Copies of this chain bind each other. A is one copy, B any other.
Amino acid sequence: MTEYRTVRVALLGAGSVGSQVARLLLAHGDELAARSGARLELVGIAVRDIDAGRDVELPRELLTTDAESLVVGADIVIELIGGIEPARSLILQAIHAGADVVTGNKALLAAHGSELFDATEQVGAEIYYEAAVAAAIPIIRPLRDSLAGDNVQRILAIVNGSTNFILDRMDRFGDSMEDAQKTAFELGFLEADPTLDVDGYDAAQKATILASLAFHSTVPADGVYREGIADITPAQIDAARTAGYVIKLLAIAERITAADGTEGISARVYPALVAREHPLAAVHGGNNAVFVEAEAAGPLMFYGAGAGGVQTASAVLGDLVSAARRHIAGGPGLGESTHADLPLLPIGDVITKYQITLRVNDLQGVLAEVATTFANGGVSVETVEQTIDPEEGGTAFLVIGTHAAREHALQATVAALKASDVVNSVVSVLRVEGV
């Protein structure tokens, strides 16, 4: 029988992910030892309340409320508490004590990633965070290692299962936004406070992490442009379907060149029109997918479950094995490479196609006037479709598809349309992605 060196593992948090990590770690000890070259000894599990009810029964003698003491002496610390504090302090404490860290804490990485990565660099430690984006789907390691010899150009990602579930219900079952949210809540896809998901904050945190990693730069979380899905209407969903699109909340990280020639990064989150034939359009329910376009590799997609305790535990345990291998054999602890140091550019610099729906009076000359407004704004029109409003005589809808245009030109054009006498209202402005 092989003698393995022991690696001491401290687990912080025993929620839906943490309890599954503990269960699998205790159940598959021999197998994990064979794969990592180390006996992974779970030295303790820090919880807020030892007597709290849990889905998984955990050995009582491992539970402690003293997270700080648990971190001391651990070789690897798994942080699954979530939120900023005390997670941040405990991770810094672990790093300074020489431990490697495994975390799924997207909020912390988005807000304080630089601080944590700088700390690891000082001591030669490493942070593993596959579980922070798209649960079990391997995306951090592919970006960091598999595509290390390539240049990522763009990432379009469905990284929030709740909003994908809601939009998918509206698209496939004709639900209203309210009903879709209600169903999502009942099935556990949505928290009691849906803000984090519905308003795109969760997706924006993941966009920050993906953009930083893909472009070897520090992307400040508060600079990520963000629109949620709260205002998406069944009418927009139907119109998208008619035009061959589906509406998806996308987290986007893209290398772009600003109008003034500056090379930089766009990181943004919004509901966008995606062509039905695009691989992302086939991502249903609570699933996640990350679509990566790289210079040499071309388009790649990574698909799977976007949430779930046991699914996310798979990613945590994969990181744990990597950390244990490194603990035994040594190896690269490069920290997070930010050598490219590209600036985050504002949304105005982004170039996409748009689909704009206007409500207009059905009068002669309206189309010419609208077309002139687009031309004056420097936005080139590709398609126009006019439909009479069946409910109100004398008015019509104009659906205008544009060629690729810069966001600031588009916004100025939309402002001009709103001020125009011939336009009753701007019903919908949606960006088209994946083209």
Contact with B along A178-189 (1 / 0, CB 8 A): 000000000000
Q: In the complex the two chains form, what is the Cα distance from A337 to B146 in whole Å?
A: 20
- Is there an interface contact between A314 and B296, defined as CB atoms closer than 8 Å? yes
Complex formed: what's the CA distance from A282 to B32 in Å? Answer: 35
User: What does the 1/0 interface line of A311-323 toward B look like (CB < 8 Å)?
Assistant: 1011111111110
**B331 and A311: CB pair below 8 A?**
no
Contact call A294/B314, Cβ cutoff below 8 A: yes
1/0 per position for A343-366, CB-CB distance to B under 8 A? 000000000000000000000000
For the complex, is A48 an interface residue (Cβ under 8 Å from B)?
no
Alpha-carbon distance between A32 and B339 when the two chains are bound, in angstroms: 11
A197 proximal to B (CB < 8 A)? no
- Which positions 19-43 of chain A face chain B at CB distance < 8 Å? 20, 24, 28, 31-32, 34-37
Count of chain copies: 2
Does the CB pair A300–B296 fall under 8 Å? no
Per the 8 Å Cβ criterion, residues 353-392 of A in contact with B are: none
Is A191 close to B, CB under 8 A?
A: no
The answer to whether B317 touches A296, judged by C-beta atoms less than 8 angstroms apart, is yes
Contacting residues, chain B, for A300 (C-beta < 8 A) = 136-138, 302-304
* Inter-subunit contact A322/B145 (CB<8 Å): yes
Contacting residues of chain A (84-143) with chain B, CB-CB under 8 angstroms = 130, 136-138, 141-142
B150, A146: Cβ atoms under 8 Å?
A: no
Report the separation of the CA atoms of residues A33 and B70 in the bound assembly, to the nearest whole angstrom: 39
A145-B321 CB under 8 A given contacts A138-B138, A282-B279, A311-B297: yes
Contacts of A244 on B, CB cut-off 8 Å? none
Bound together, the chains give a CA A137 to CA B313 distance in angstroms of 24
Q: Does A297 lie within 8 Å of B301, measured CB to CB?
A: no
CB contacts (< 8 Å) of A301 on chain B: these are: 301-304
Q: How far is the CB of A393 from chain B (nearest CB, A)?
A: 43
Bound CA span A146–B304, Å: 13
Interface residues of A in 68-90 (CB under 8 A from B): none
Question: Across the interface, do A318 and B37 meet the contact criterion of CB distance under 8 Å?
Answer: no
Residue of A302, A328, A330 with highest tally of chain B CB at under 10 A: A302
Pairwise interchain contact A35-B148, C-beta atoms closer than 8 A: yes
Is the pair B326, A332 in contact by a Cβ cutoff of 8 Å?
A: yes
Roughly how many angstroms separate A282 CA and B216 CA in the complex, as a whole number? 33
A247-298, CB < 8 A from B: 279, 282, 294-298
Q: Is A310 an interface residue (CB 8 A)?
A: yes
Complex Cα distance A303/B292, Å? 10
| Among candidates B28, B296, B316, residue contacting A313 with C-beta atoms closer than 8 Å | B296
The one of B297, B305, B318 in contact with A299, judged by C-beta atoms closer than 8 angstroms, is B305
Contacting residues, chain B, for A24 (C-beta < 8 A): 149, 296
Question: Given B147, B334, B339, which contacts A325 in the complex, CB threshold below 8 Å?
Answer: B334
Which residues of chain A (166-222) have a CB below 8 Å from chain B?
216
Contact B315 A326 (CB under 8 A): no
Question: CA of A328 to CA of B320 in the docked complex: distance in angstroms?
Answer: 23
Judged by a CB distance under 8 angstroms, whether A308 is at the interface is yes
Given A216-B34, A279-B282; A298-B311 close (CB under 8 Å): yes
- The listed residue with most B CB atoms (<10 A of its CB), out of A295, A310, A314, is A314
Q: Which residue from chain B places its CB closest to the CB of A294 in the assembled complex? A: B314
A residues near B, CB below 8 A? 20, 24, 28, 31-32, 34-37, 130, 136-138, 141-142, 145-151, 216, 279, 282, 294-305, 308, 310-311, 313-322, 325-326, 328-334, 337, 339-340
8 contacts between A and B (CB under 8 A): A35-B148, A130-B146, A141-B141, A148-B321, A148-B322, A150-B317, A282-B282, A299-B304
* Apart from A34-B216, A149-B321: 10 A-B pairs, beta carbons within 8 A: A20-B296, A37-B334, A136-B296, A138-B147, A141-B141, A149-B320, A150-B314, A297-B314, A298-B311, A329-B330
